[in-house]
Structure 1
Amino acid sequence: MLKSYIKIAWRNLWRNKAFSIINIFGLSIGIAFSLLIGAYVWGELQVNRQLKDADDQYIIQSKWKDPNMGFEIGSSAELPKALKENYPGLVTNYYRFDGITTNVSKGDKHFRETVQVGDSTLLNMYGFKLLRGDANTALNDPFSVVITSQMAMKYFGRTDIVGQLLNFESFSGDKHDFTVSGVLGDISQNSVTAVSARNVSDFFVNADAAKYFKRNLSGWDNTYIVDYIELKKGIDPKTVEKAMIALLHKNTSEQVSKNLTPYLVALKDYNMITEGGVVKKMTCTLSCIALFILLMAIINFVNICIGRASGRMREMGIRKVMGSLRKQLIWQFLAESTLIAMIATLVALGIYLLARPFFSNVLGKEITGLFSFPLYFIPLPFMVALLVGLLAGIYPALVLSALKAVDSLKGKLSSVKESVLFRKTLVAFQFTIAAIVFIGAIVISQQISLFFNNNLGYNKDNVIYSQVPRDWSPKGVQKMEAIRYQLSQMPQVSGITLSYVIPDGANGGNYQVYRQGANPSQTIVAQGLTVDNQYASTYNIPIKAGQFFKPVFNLADSSDVVINETEAKALGFKNDDDAIGQKIMSPGYPVASIIRGVTADFHFGSMQDKILPITFNNVNYSTYYRYFSIKLKPGDIQQNLSALQKRWAELMPGAPFEYKFMDDALKQLYATELQLKKAAYIATFLAIIIVLLGVLGLISLSIQKRTKEIGIRKVLGSSVAGITSLFLKDFLGVVLIAGLIACPLAYFMMQKWLDDYAYKINISLSPFVFSIALLTVITALLIMLQTIKAAFANPVKSLRSE
């Protein structure tokens, strides 16, 4: 019997190819998009879950009374070790690291790489497997290094390289060979080797190597170290948090102990909540979009199934006269709708395979392959297809199978009205979702445009940046300043500056300041930016008062600082000029700093945050630097870069010229927003396609049912425009009603999204008007193309249609 149902269902599909293709294609798009987004979300949820003893692994986070006093990700360097030694019943292991970047060389290969200087517990604590080397001893020697297989291929072209040498540069300019003691196999995404998207490590060295690199992994007041601990089975994290607070109060300075509260975050949850929960927000937003797209596709499917079924009343009547039972008719409808859903699912799986690389690129994350999911995932798409098929077939099956045979043969719905209102409601719901997604995509695009326009407070155009070799000493700074001067003389360069920071939000640390003579308790927290005297001119940051340091640095100028407008106001100066020559202090530092200049405010970090107080320190005094920022003159950019690269190699042999444009730094700063923008555009495109497929299917059904009516109207003198207007009225009213519902909903949702940003656009009428107008025009064109074709048909054929 089931074979018979399927055979008849297949014949019906084949007989009505156009409607079958519309139904299958629309549903498959919705299913494929939902599967791709579902795979992305599943991948994000799997981060850190592959680690050894993942249920017991935690990262120590810091909560400061004033968030600007320290970094959330950093904690006291001594805390994990002290927990293991003082509370062995609670903590079974720990790992700490300091992330640095340095020049790594092998022969004539020179690259700037990210290195983790950390404890030797790394490999065994998290179960990282080595392709080559012994995990028990690989990180025991201060001058040994474990590298990833990708880096092994990059430097050596093979992975069997244990015992080979790589040269690492220290922050004092020294160079030393490190022996490769291990090669890591492929590592799934985790928050240990890649604690953030901007801190992905490929080289791992012993904590004892910190001395060589001029770094420090010790000290209770050193709160810039990333700390991890592994708890014993069954231990409550709250108990460990109390122990951490007790240790901090006992061992740290008063400033740290009073302001810092450490807490534990399970590594299984960390990926979703880090950096303000950006991944969680992204996954939730995309999940909602995918759900809406799938719902739209299902509504299309249900709508067309209902419309097609109501045209088969005579078939039902004949079947009843021939002796078919009601349950057989019900099974027939369900078999047809389920067969379509299953075919659509198979097509969706094919679309998944083809679209996966594209979506991986859009979302900036490798989406899991179709055959990489656990076995229990295999039946899920088909279970969904079965549910959708039953949902689409149950209404026509129950309604039409309940009709009397006589009514069915006459084509009348005397006992049950054809649910036109219900179908129009479903169409209105589709248009509402499409309009909301469309409006949202436009608002997101406008907000992101704000991030990249010229309202940043500085000029990023034609500015590139590249990391330089480090020698954090007065001599090292003098050498780099001399090189800076020589590069500035090039005809391709209009400005160049040496600094520790670029405007990407990663400052050199925060510290407290107050006006000399004021109460030390009345401090403000300022971001510290270490730069030279060319920083403001290179980035075109306006000077509101004074000057941006003196043209030539003297030791007598060591106490000079420059602040921004926000800091001048926070310190209580009525205007910028009043701040010039005034002194500011920092708790614990006896020497006062003299304000020599005030800059205009500019967006150093993300627009999610308000502009904070900024204190510029002279790199000749605070001898810490990382970047050359170079402003190129307009013209042939590639030719300018080639000349600069050649001169760079002459002045700094062995130092890689790995440059990026400031636009790239901003793209990384707003990576999540840019991914959301791309996803929103894709969702908008799919939503419109699904809506139009639904309209195409329904208008085709409507024309098919009213073929004789069209013929009679033509015989009686109706024009093509008049006939077309009949069908336009049916649908355009639905579109306008959907628009009226969508606009306030979209406004509320996008206003909620914009609330996360301290600086945001004002939502205007244009996204709403443009979205509704475009949807209306496209829908009208589609309806007109269908109806004009029917209206031009020979009325004699129309009258013979039944």
Structure 2
Amino acid sequence: MLQNYFTMAWRSLLKNKGFSIINILGLSVGIAFTLLIGAYVWGELQVNHDLKDADNQYIIQSKWKDPNLGLELTTIAQLPKTLKEVYPGLVANYYHWDGVGSIVSRGDKHFRESIQIGDSTLLSMYGFGLAHGDAQKAFTDPFSAVITERLAIKYFGKTDVVGQTLTIESFKGDKHGFTISGVLDKLSKNSVTNVNDNNQNNIFLPAKAADFLGRTLEGWNNNVLVGYIELENGITPAQLVGPMKHLIKENAPQQTVDNLTPYLVPLKDYYREGNGGTVKKMIFTLSSIAFFILLMAIINFVNICVGRSASRMKEMGIRKVLGGLRKQLIWQFLMESVLLVMIATLIALALYLLARPYLSDALGKEITLLFAFPAYFYLFPFVFALLVGLLAGLYPALVLSSLKSVDSLKGKLSSVKESVLFRKILVGFQFGMAALVFIVSIIISQQVAYFLKGNLGFNKDYVVYSQVPRDWSAKGVKKMETIRYQLSQMPQVSSVSLSWEIPDGAGNGAQLYRQGADPKKAISMNGLATDNQYAATYGIPLKAGTFFTPQYTPGDSAKIVINESASKALGWNKPEDAVGQVVNAPGSNIPFTICGVTADFHTGSMQSQIGPLNFTNVNYTQYYRYLSVKLKPGDMQNSVTALQKQWSMLMPDAPFEYHFMDEAIAKLYTTELQLKKASYIAGVLTIVIVLLGVVGLISLSIQKRTREIGIRKVLGASVPGIINLFLKEFLGVVLIACVISCPLAYLIMHNWLNGYAYRINITGYPFLISILLLTVLTIMLITLQTIKAAVSNPVKSLRTE
């Protein structure tokens, strides 16, 4: 019997190829997108879950009263180790590390790599395995290194490289060979070796290597290390609050005691909750989009199934007259519906395979392969198909099978009230969602364009930057200043600057107060270490004074440049009033004389207001990382090639790994750019699903009203009049849906934009474009479908049925 139901269902699908294709295509697109987003969400939820003893692993975070005093990500260097030593009943293990970047070389290969200097507990605490090497001895030698498989292939072309040597350069300009003691197995994404997406470490050095690199992993006044602890079974983070506060109070500087509140975040949650919860927000946003797209696809499917049901009343009557039982008719309808959804699901799985690379690229995250899920995952699509199939087939199965045979044969609708209002509500919901998604996409695009093309207060055009070898001494700074000057003499170069930071959100916390004022009322601000060419290279306008002196003199080390916000915060309303004034930093006896005041400019994301900022001379700090080069307009490719050639001559062992400043700015808005791409994809899919639904419903409407069209033509109706008949049926619904969705879209995007200190104003443009686009597409589809029926011979129309 089941085989007979299946055979009849298959014949019914083949008989109505057009409706079947529309239904299957719309539903398969919705299912495929939902599966892809589901796979993305599942992958994001799995981060850190496969670490050893993951339930007991925590990262120590820092909450600072004054955000300029430290980072939320890092903690006091001495805290993790001391917690383990003083409270062994609470803390089972610890791991902390310092992240640095340095030039790594082998033969003629020179690259700048991210390096993690940390404790020997790295492998045992998290269960990271070695593909090659002995985990027990991996970190015993101060000049040993554990590397990733990717790095081994990059330098050696193979993974079994234990005993080979890589040369690493210190921050004093010295070089030393590090023997590879282990090669890590392929690591799952985690927040230990890759604490965030911008910090992928490939080389892991023992704690003793810190001395060579000029770093330290100890000290209570060192708060720039990432720290983790593993709690004993049954211990909660709340039990560590008191011990952490006690140790800080007993050992840390008073300023740290007054400002710092440490807290623990479970590593299983950290990836989603850290960095302001950007991953969690993205998961929620994409899940919501996928849910509504799937809902629209299901509504389409159900709507067309219900619409077709009335046209099968005579079939039901004939089946009943010939002895068909009601339960057989119910099974028949349900089988047809489930078969349709099963086919759509299989096509969706194929679409998953095709679309996965493109969505992975759009989201900047690798979406899980189709066959990489646990076995039980593969039940979900087919359980879903069964449920949707039953839902779509329930109405025709129960209602049409209950009709009297005589009424069915006559095609009477008196007992089968087609819920026109209900169907119009469903169609309206779809159009409303399509308009909302499209409006949201346009506003997100406008805000991202404002970020990338708006006035940043400085000129990022034609600026390239690259990290340089480090010798943090007076001699090292002088050498780099000489190289800077030689590069600036190139005909393709406008200016060059040596600095510790570029304007990409980085900076160091600083405090200043006017000489003679109370040090406790010092103004917190961001601090940049630059040379005298920084303002010229980045086109930062000066409001008063000078940006140090045209040529460095020892006196520049005692000078400081501030921005307009800092000038006002320190009590000078006019920039020129600040020039020549003396300021101090708390805890320092060295006074600084303000030599210049710059205009305010964005050094980070536009989510935050521009705050006070100061510039100290790189010769004073003796810390530097970047050379920023302002190229002259023209052939950029030739200019960069010439710059690379000159760089190689001046610094033969330093890789020229350059980036344009536009790329650095774009990285500040990675989440927004991903959201923009996802919203565009969602907008296109939404419109496709809605228009497929319109095609199906118009086709059904034309099929049901074939005789009516013939009668109208006989009575003198024109082709435009018949087309207008069908347009009225849908355009009113479209416009009402769009009008309802506009205020909802406005509220959603107004709330989203409130998260940014600098934002666009919402205008009527996105709303008008969305409404016009949907209206025009709907008119085109309806016209194309109805024109065939409108111009056909009315005799054929009147002979139907």
Decide: shared fold, TM above 0.5.
Answer: yes
Q: Whole-Å Cα distance in 2 between the matches of residues 227 and 103 of structure 1?
A: 25
Q: C-alpha displacement at 1:415, in angstroms?
A: 2.2
Q: Quick one: which amino acid aligns to residue 740 of structure 2?
A: I
Instruction: Call closer, same or farther: CA 1:495–1:454 in 2, change over 3 Å.
Output: farther
SS in 1 for 2:620: coil
User: 1:215: which partner in 2?
Assistant: 215
Q: C-alpha displacement at 1:770, in angstroms?
A: 0.5
Q: C-alpha displacement at 1:401, in angstroms?
A: 1.6
Q: Whole-Å Cα distance in 1 between the matches of residues 49 and 750 of structure 2?
A: 35
Q: Quick one: which amino acid aligns to residue 643 of structure 1?
A: A
SS in 2 for 1:93: strand
407-416 vs 9-18, greater mean Cα deviation:
407-416
Whether 2:35 is the aligned partner of 1:31: answer no
Q: Whole-Å Cα distance in 1 between the matches of residues 196 and 524 of structure 2?
A: 25
SS in 2 for 1:217: coil
Q: Quick one: which amino acid aligns to residue 623 of structure 1?
A: Q
Give CA-to-partner distance per residue, 1:364-419, whole Å, 9 cap, x none: 11100111001110100111111111111112222212222221111112123111
Q: C-alpha displacement at 1:517, in angstroms?
A: 1.8
SS in 1 for 2:561: strand
Q: C-alpha displacement at 1:271, in angstroms?
A: 0.5
Q: C-alpha displacement at 1:611, in angstroms?
A: 1.0
SS in 1 for 2:455: helix
User: 1:673: which partner in 2?
Assistant: 672
SS in 1 for 2:157: coil
**1:589-604, aligned counterparts within 5 Å?**
589-604=588-603
Whether 2:238 is the aligned partner of 1:238: answer yes
Q: Quick one: which amino acid aligns to residue 334 of structure 2?
A: L
User: 1:309: which partner in 2?
Assistant: 309
Q: Whole-Å Cα distance in 2 between the matches of residues 24 and 755 of structure 1?
A: 41
Q: Whole-Å Cα distance in 2 between the matches of residues 607 and 399 of structure 1?
A: 58
Give CA-to-partner distance per residue, 1:156-213, whole Å, 9 cap, x none: 0011111111000000111111001111111010001110111110000011111111
User: 2:53: which partner in 1?
Assistant: 53
Give CA-to-partner distance per residue, 1:37-85, whole Å, 9 cap, x none: 0100110000001111111100000001122321000100000000000
Q: C-alpha displacement at 1:669, in angstroms?
A: 1.3
Whether 2:82 is the aligned partner of 1:90: answer no
Q: C-alpha displacement at 1:522, in angstroms?
A: 1.6
Q: Quick one: which amino acid aligns to residue 605 of structure 2?
A: S
SS in 2 for 1:737: helix
Whether 2:152 is the aligned partner of 1:136: answer no
Q: Whole-Å Cα distance in 1 between the matches of residues 213 and 32 of structure 2?
A: 50
SS in 2 for 1:591: coil
User: 2:187: which partner in 1?
Assistant: 187
User: 1:700: which partner in 2?
Assistant: 699
Q: Quick one: which amino acid aligns to residue 780 of structure 1?
A: I
Give CA-to-partner distance per residue, 1:540-598, whole Å, 9 cap, x none: 01111111111122222222111111111111211111111112222111112111111
Q: Quick one: which amino acid aligns to residue 168 of structure 1?
A: I
Q: Whole-Å Cα distance in 2 between the matches of residues 402 and 565 of structure 1?
A: 80
User: 1:568: which partner in 2?
Assistant: 567
**1:210-289, aligned counterparts within 5 Å?**
210-289=210-289
Q: Whole-Å Cα distance in 2 between the matches of residues 418 and 410 of structure 1?
A: 16
Q: Whole-Å Cα distance in 1 between the matches of residues 82 and 739 of structure 2?
A: 62
Q: Whole-Å Cα distance in 2 between the matches of residues 207 and 722 of structure 1?
A: 83
SS in 1 for 2:627: strand
SS in 1 for 2:619: coil
User: 1:730: which partner in 2?
Assistant: 729
User: 1:686: which partner in 2?
Assistant: 685
User: 1:399: which partner in 2?
Assistant: 399
Give CA-to-partner distance per residue, 1:432-490, whole Å, 9 cap, x none: 11111000000000000011114111111111110000001111011000000000000
**1:618-697, aligned counterparts within 5 Å?**
618-697=617-696
Q: Quick one: which amino acid aligns to residue 559 of structure 1?
A: A
SS in 2 for 1:195: coil
SS in 2 for 1:222: coil
Q: C-alpha displacement at 1:633, in angstroms?
A: 1.1
Whether 2:497 is the aligned partner of 1:476: answer no
Give CA-to-partner distance per residue, 1:523-549, whole Å, 9 cap, x none: 221111011111111010111111111
SS in 2 for 1:621: helix
Q: Whole-Å Cα distance in 2 between the matches of residues 667 and 183 of structure 1?
A: 33
User: 1:11: which partner in 2?
Assistant: 11
User: 1:768: which partner in 2?
Assistant: 767
TM-score by length of structure 1 reads: 0.99
User: 2:526: which partner in 1?
Assistant: 527
Q: Whole-Å Cα distance in 1 between the matches of residues 385 and 516 of structure 2?
A: 74
SS in 1 for 2:213: coil
Whether 2:383 is the aligned partner of 1:363: answer no
Q: Whole-Å Cα distance in 2 between the matches of residues 696 and 796 of structure 1?
A: 25
Q: Quick one: which amino acid aligns to residue 338 of structure 2?
A: T
60-69 vs 154-163, greater mean Cα deviation:
60-69
Structure 2 unpaired stretches of 5+:
none
User: 2:792: which partner in 1?
Assistant: 793
Q: C-alpha displacement at 1:120, in angstroms?
A: 1.0
TM-score by length of structure 2 reads: 0.99
Q: Quick one: which amino acid aligns to residue 359 of structure 1?
A: L
334-343 vs 453-462, greater mean Cα deviation:
453-462
SS in 2 for 1:371: helix
SS in 2 for 1:241: helix
Q: Whole-Å Cα distance in 2 between the matches of residues 454 and 392 of structure 1?
A: 50
Q: Whole-Å Cα distance in 2 between the matches of residues 545 and 405 of structure 1?
A: 94
Q: Quick one: which amino acid aligns to residue 97 of structure 1?
A: W
Q: C-alpha displacement at 1:521, in angstroms?
A: 2.0
Q: Whole-Å Cα distance in 2 between the matches of residues 391 and 772 of structure 1?
A: 31
Q: Whole-Å Cα distance in 1 between the matches of residues 495 and 446 of structure 2?
A: 31
**1:63-212, aligned counterparts within 5 Å?**
63-212=63-212
Give CA-to-partner distance per residue, 1:326-384, whole Å, 9 cap, x none: 22222211111111011100000000011111111111111001110011101001111
Give CA-to-partner distance per residue, 1:705-743, whole Å, 9 cap, x none: 001111111111111100000000000001001011110
Q: Quick one: which amino acid aligns to residue 701 of structure 1?
A: L
User: 2:587: which partner in 1?
Assistant: 588
Whether 2:608 is the aligned partner of 1:609: answer yes
Q: Whole-Å Cα distance in 2 between the matches of residues 355 and 135 of structure 1?
A: 40
**1:316-355, aligned counterparts within 5 Å?**
316-355=316-355
Q: C-alpha displacement at 1:26, in angstroms?
A: 0.3
Q: Whole-Å Cα distance in 1 between the matches of residues 359 and 665 of structure 2?
A: 22
Q: C-alpha displacement at 1:495, in angstroms?
A: 1.4
Q: C-alpha displacement at 1:323, in angstroms?
A: 2.1
Q: Whole-Å Cα distance in 2 between the matches of residues 251 and 768 of structure 1?
A: 59
SS in 1 for 2:352: helix
Q: Whole-Å Cα distance in 2 between the matches of residues 569 and 274 of structure 1?
A: 33
Q: Whole-Å Cα distance in 2 between the matches of residues 557 and 202 of structure 1?
A: 39
Q: Whole-Å Cα distance in 1 between the matches of residues 789 and 583 of structure 2?
A: 82
Q: Whole-Å Cα distance in 1 between the matches of residues 87 and 646 of structure 2?
A: 57
User: 1:485: which partner in 2?
Assistant: 485
Q: C-alpha displacement at 1:608, in angstroms?
A: 1.0
Q: Quick one: which amino acid aligns to residue 661 of structure 2?
A: M
SS in 1 for 2:212: coil
Q: Quick one: which amino acid aligns to residue 408 of structure 2?
A: S
User: 1:386: which partner in 2?
Assistant: 386
**1:715-726, aligned counterparts within 5 Å?**
715-726=714-725
Q: Whole-Å Cα distance in 1 between the matches of residues 345 and 53 of structure 2?
A: 37
Q: Quick one: which amino acid aligns to residue 534 of structure 1?
A: Q
Q: Whole-Å Cα distance in 1 between the matches of residues 540 and 574 of structure 2?
A: 18
Structure 1 unpaired stretches of 5+:
none
Q: Whole-Å Cα distance in 1 between the matches of residues 258 and 454 of structure 2?
A: 41
Whether 2:412 is the aligned partner of 1:412: answer yes
Identity across the alignment (%):
66
Give CA-to-partner distance per residue, 1:573-629, whole Å, 9 cap, x none: 111111111122221111121111111111110111111211111001111110011
